[in-house]
Amino acid sequence: MQQTPTPATPQKYDGVVPGSSAKNPLPAVPKVGSYLVWTGFQMTPTGSRVFLQTTQTVPFSVDEGRVSKSGKSTLSVRLEGCRIYMANNRRKIDTRYFASPVAGVSARQKGRNVEVRIAMREVASAVPHSEAGPDGTQFLVLDFPPGKAAPEPSPLEDMAKASGLVEGTEPPLAESPESSSSAKKPAKTKR
């Protein structure tokens, strides 16, 4: 008997979102110096966005990397004179399951600057702009158009299909030891 999957209930997101009226759920940030305090990704009605929250306005540059034969590339954003505030901001954001040209985002300290790498699964131009954030912080927002690529399948989804847990798929037939050994040996016939 196949069970119908239960629809996902909407989850409330209590994290950081761009905008000056948003609540900042983060620990208190340093008052002196430029720090990257949040790296985020968000789907929007017009596509998707990557946003970077800093303690103050930070000079930045965007470098569009070379496009590979497969159409993938890397976009680099350099935050000048900036430090990564918490180690959590070095974690990779995996966005490959969204219908977005962005496949992932990661940040690393590179000397006195922060380099944010945005892995692209298809060619798309980012439109950067700044927004005021809560508690005097600033957001650097990079807006992307809708993705042409469908989200990549999850390894768990592939396993579920292989085991027959997903409706409309059949699990592979398991062979018993007897049937597998008899299939390999030619049948004996009397003459």
- Distance (Å, rounded) from C-alpha 114 to C-alpha 84? 7
pLDDT for residue 147: 84
Top-confidence residue, 162 or 83: 83
Neighbours of 119 (CB within 10 A): 20
Q: Report if residue 106 sits inside a domain.
A: yes
Note down the domain range covering 88: 35-144
pLDDT value, residue 12: 62
Which pLDDT score, from 0 to 100, does residue 185 have? 52
Task: With respect to residue 80, please indicate whether it lies within any of the assigned structural domains.
Answer: yes
Q: Does the residue 6 lie in any domain?
A: no
19 within 8 A of 133, measured Cβ to Cβ = yes
Q: What is the largest CA-CA distance in the chain?
A: 96
Residue 167 structure tokens: 């409706």
Segment 88-105, tens digit of pLDDT: 888 999 998 898 999 999
Percent of the chain with pLDDT over 70: 66
DSSP character for 65?
Answer: -
Does any domain span residue 90? yes
| pLDDT value of residue 48 | 94
Q: Does residue 176 lie in a domain region? A: no
* Contact assessment for residue 169 and residue 161, using Cβ atoms and an 8 Å cutoff: yes
Domains of the chain: total: 1
| CATH number for position 125 | 2.60.40.3470
Strand order in the sheet with 113-120: 60-64, 73-79, 113-120, 102-110, 93-94
Integer Cα distance of 140 and 52 in angstroms: 5
- Using DSSP, state whether 87 is helix, strand or coil: helix
Give a yes or no: residue 170 inside a domain.
Answer: no
Domain contains 43: yes
> Tens digits of per-residue pLDDT, 8-58?
566 666 667 777 666 667 777 777 889 999 999 999 999 999 999 999 999
For residues 48, 51, 57 and 60, what is the CA-based torsion angle, rounded to 10 degrees? Answer: -80
Domain-located, residue 159 = no
Helix (H, G, I), strand (E, B) or coil at 91: coil
- Residue 21, phi-psi category: left (phi > 0), alpha (psi -120 to 50), beta (remainder): alpha
pLDDT in tens, 95-140: 988 989 999 999 999 999 999 999 998 888 889 999 998 888 899 9
The token pair at 44 is 């929007």
Q: What is the pTM of this model?
A: 0.70
**Class of residue 7 by CB neighbours under 10 A (exposed 0-12, middle 13-18, buried 19+):** exposed
